[in-house]
Amino acid sequence: MSSLDVPLTLLDPEGGWINAPVHVHDLRGRPTLLYFWSELSQTNEQQLPKIKTLLDEFLPKGLQVVGVHVPMAGEDLEHALDTNDIEAIVKRMGFRHPVAVDDGSMEQAYGVNDVPTFLVYDAFGILRFRVSGEDALNVELRRILERLTGPEANTGAFAP
């Protein structure tokens, strides 16, 4: 399976949801950013304010966003599924989008090996872009979000 063959098929994480659950059928018709992060990752601690800035720019343009909090390797799963810490971070950051508290099943289903990881889907649920690691919030991610939320997004002119 190539890195662009992962379908948008949200699972029901064992840990539940913060802000509201979301189902795949709710995401059709608009571009979707699915991003994986962990409260214990130093990279994510530095990235969360940058993610907030990105979301503040693209949410008003029609981007749907789903965050997925994943357990770190070696982390106690009971702690990883405790929504209190995660919800506090989500509230502190001012995130209003749905955040799944993953037991590792979503991480595995989407082939995520590093945090942060960003997967960008078009309005038809086709994965158009995937990026991971420290430099994940890069110019190309912004460029693809601009294309998917801009005027050409609904013309059928988008090509990967």
Q: Is 155 helix (H, G, I), strand (E, B) or coil?
A: coil
HSE at residue 130, side-chain half, CA atoms within 13 A, is: 16
Q: 85 pLDDT exceeds 80?
A: yes
DSSP assignment string, 8-47: ------TT-EES----HHHHTTS-EEEEEE-TT-HHHHHH
CA 80 centroid distance within chain:
17
Of 127, 120, 125, 122, give the one whose Cα is nearest residue 155: 122
Check residue 12 and give its pLDDT.
75
Predicted confidence band of residue 157 (pLDDT cuts 50, 70, 90): low
On average, the pLDDT of the chain sits at: 84
Check residue 35 and give its pLDDT.
93
pLDDT in tens, 96-139: 999 999 888 888 889 999 889 999 999 988 999 999 987 888 88
Check residue 2 and give its pLDDT.
46
Query: In the block, which residue shows the tokens 């950051």?
Result: 93
Angle at 15 between CA 19 and CA 23, to 5 degrees: 55
Lowest mean pLDDT among 3-7, 48-52, 71-75: 3-7
Distance CA 160, CA 151 (A): 16
Q: 4 pLDDT exceeds 60?
A: no
Predicted confidence band of residue 40 (pLDDT cuts 50, 70, 90): confident
